[in-house]
Structure 1
Amino acid sequence: MPAVRRLAAILAADVAGYSRLMGADEEGTHERLKAHRRELVEPKIAEHSGRIVKTTGDGLLAEFASVVDAVRYAAEVQRAMIDREAGIPEDRRIRFRIGINLGDIIVEEDDIFGDGVNVAARLEALAEPDGICISRVVRDQIRDRLAYAFEDLGEQSVKNIARPVRVYALRPEAIAGLPTPSLPSASQIVPAAVAPRLSIVVLPFANLSNDPDQQYFADGITEDLTTDLSRIPDMFVISRNTAFTYQGKRVETKQVGRELGVRYVLEGSFRRLGNQIRVNAQLIDAETDAHLWAERFDGDMGDLFALQTEITSRIAVALGYELLSAEAARPTERPDVLDYILRARAANERSPSRDRNAEVIRLYERALALDPRSAEAQAGLAGILANNVLDDMTETAAVDMAHAEFLAGQALAAAPRSPGVHWAKGQILRAQRRYIEAIPEYEAVLASNRNSARALFCLGQCKLFAGLIEETIPLIERAIRLSPRDPRPGAWYSTIGMVHLLRSRTDEAVTWLEKARNTTPLHAQIRAQLAAAYALSGETERAAAELAEARRLSCDDRYTSLARLQAVLSYWGVPKVRALFEATYFTGLRLAGMAEQ
């Protein structure tokens, strides 16, 4: 399974003097530690949307999507432990030491690796019993958000880390002065009661073929889906090793959800009939047992590896949409930052319109009102503001672009490797017609998530205007195969149509541009493109009607004359592409009745 990189808050914890405690009272120490983990440590991790990566005899390694959640979790656990061990003789007390770092990690199978993990472990070693140590980058992120009295310990040289680490400590005395946190009730100790949002397990796909030797294909789909889903932002995916413990067992979905602490379960089957393969998959809500989505995928055995990749990619893309919709639909009395971000993403899956864009902007702005430094919300808002300009759905393009660039700059400083930040930068550069510069941004998104259909489309469009015209259609056709029910296919179809138009394949251009108009009827640019294609095909009346619609739908007067449109599009693409536009698109608009001035 290929490794995945992402930014995460890493928490390392151990029990101070564990060997001494076990030597003094092995059975008592072991039982108390088990109770602390079951009743406090593990439920609190789920409550704060974290994930236990692994445990050792006396410690654990966990990751959190939010550094604020990680620090708040550590403080609450340490404060609760002071009370839980208060009746134990001081020399027998279980005392945790906790270290927290924020950094880039490599996720592989059940484990995480990288310099960020090593720093967290070294910080843990520096912490006092009942204390917490954090790195400077963590301190910078929580400074204005959490009122904990961290003490600056200065630069510390630590083992196997080349550079000194600036360390901040929350001492036991400061933790003891914190309010006693609410402890999980008996029902909350069940993991499913606090299952993280966007949490899922991919159960092993059943082999319904008569040949048990075909099991490898079903297992391959399970493994690839686990990997592909883990690439979706904010997704919490149970590892394949844990998922495969359910192979061959008949278990209820609710039971799986409770045991693994997940909200969703994906299950499916594989069947081979001659040279044909059929894969069925269904998404189930683990809390209600409701079936949220089901799909069937067919293929032939010609190239098994390619077929497996195609099927798993299409399932992963479809699930990304379905999971966002399911999360956005969940009732929440007090939405937090992630709630608003997930709702914004779900709204962004709808077909483009002014109302849709306004709703996405409003949701991201609410997220930023709660956490002004959320890089995810900053990048999301920057991207949709750029979309407003790209879709010709704003009267304040200059203001929108300036704000988008400011937000993207902040997000880049906080999370330079985030796919969402690369996406926002790509959208901004594309809106500024800086297509060659945008190409590596979309390639970075695809390096993180090969199944990003929209990144494939945007990359294809940039290739078109960069003069790499013949590379455009294969990229966009791949996007359409991955996401055949995408809510905004109009731009995809229109770009393919424009490639045909520029290559003077007018009949193919009309076919694709009609599909674009039929799926996205309120898009002025698509209407103008279809007007040009109709005119070049000799259908001047239909061309004039489409041009009139383009004028009506546009936010400005660009479609009133060729001079105005050419001024707007003067920096579209390299000279070769601009020459093709003049010979086809602009010629067609003249024939449709657009005035020169």
Structure 2
Amino acid sequence: MTEARKLAAILVADIVGFSRLTASDEDRTLARIRTLRSDLVYPTIAVHRGRVVKSTGDGVLSEFRSGVDAVRCAMELQTGMLERNSGLPGDRRIELRIGIHIGDVVEEADGDLMGDGVNIAARLEGIAKPGTICLSEDAYRQVRSRLDLAICDLGERVLKNIPEPMRVYALEADTTPPRREPPVLTGATPAPLALLDKPSIAVLPFINMSGDAEQEFFTDGLTEDIITDLSNVPGFFVIARNSTFAYKGKPSDVRQIARDLGVKYILEGSARRSDKRLRVNVQLINGSEGGNHVWAERFDRDIADIFDVQDEVTRRVVEAISGKLGEKNIVSRTRPSNLEAYDLCVRSRGKCNVSRSDNSEACADLERAVQIDPNYCEAHSNLAISLLFGWIIWGEPQIP
């Protein structure tokens, strides 16, 4: 085994109260954490030229070329968490604590890092308060004259399993609540009263009625595409996919879900796919007014008409909610010209950034989709994202 010793800026981040959150609602908590990683943590590390060394259920270890990059990344992460927690009750907030140290580390052949540099960063993370960042003196010296930050000197601290006391510094993100309209809900939240007067909707995962578990990806893809289409309607507030998919496979009380997610309308449905036919049942429910049905319809079409079904569902929902069709306000998306390419792209969505092997399979599916339909924009963009995750997390080559 080969190994190399080097100097690196190490960032260790951890979720506060992970066990409490999972004990309260494991499925929803894990869904929120997966979203947090893919939407905030990994992209932010990449933007600041960092590398994810490893991630655990409730934390991440990453390295940077400079302390400035590491601290900027940490500040952006904490600011992003403030935005995501805005409006959430305390017991549903996901908070990070972060430790940063610049020191000597040993890089193993598989890319893992070991040594005092890692240990000290981990101990600093352990003493950080929720929402804050603790720096070693070595890290502080590198950033104090380069970044305009309010840093508090905590004095010398004894860190677990570190022989000598270390001087520790703390900083925190701007705690001013962000001004957002409408609020972004990353998990289940109490319904903001003002939001119930606006066109707000959550699309629950459609039920796979085909009897074939292999078609689950197709039903999920149908749901995701309808969410995307509705999100493109100006003036509509649509709950993100990861929040609604936390309810998948669970008994659902649409009135309670509407309250939890802070929306007025719930769209639910089912799909049955055969070799050449597609049957989709959809119903729109007013969750804020006793669960009354606003609109329901069955679509029995040729499988090749799936994109027409998606478009029609979007138009009918907009018409039912706003009282007019307003097709000119619906932003149409570029559709693939080949159903096989669509299947491959949809199948890849559940594999990206799950594990190294799953991510590799996602890349292979997307490469095939691009070959079949070179003009399929979503396949190109998803392939780029999968390759990026492979490079950041597992050190995969950037070019297939």
Query: TM-score, normalised on structure 1?
Result: 0.32
Higher relative contact order (CA 8 A, sep 6+): 2
User: Greater share of strand residues, 1 or 2?
Assistant: 2
Query: TM-score, normalised on structure 2?
Result: 0.47
User: Greater share of helix residues, 1 or 2?
Assistant: 1
Report the structure number with the largest CA radius of gyration.
Answer: 1
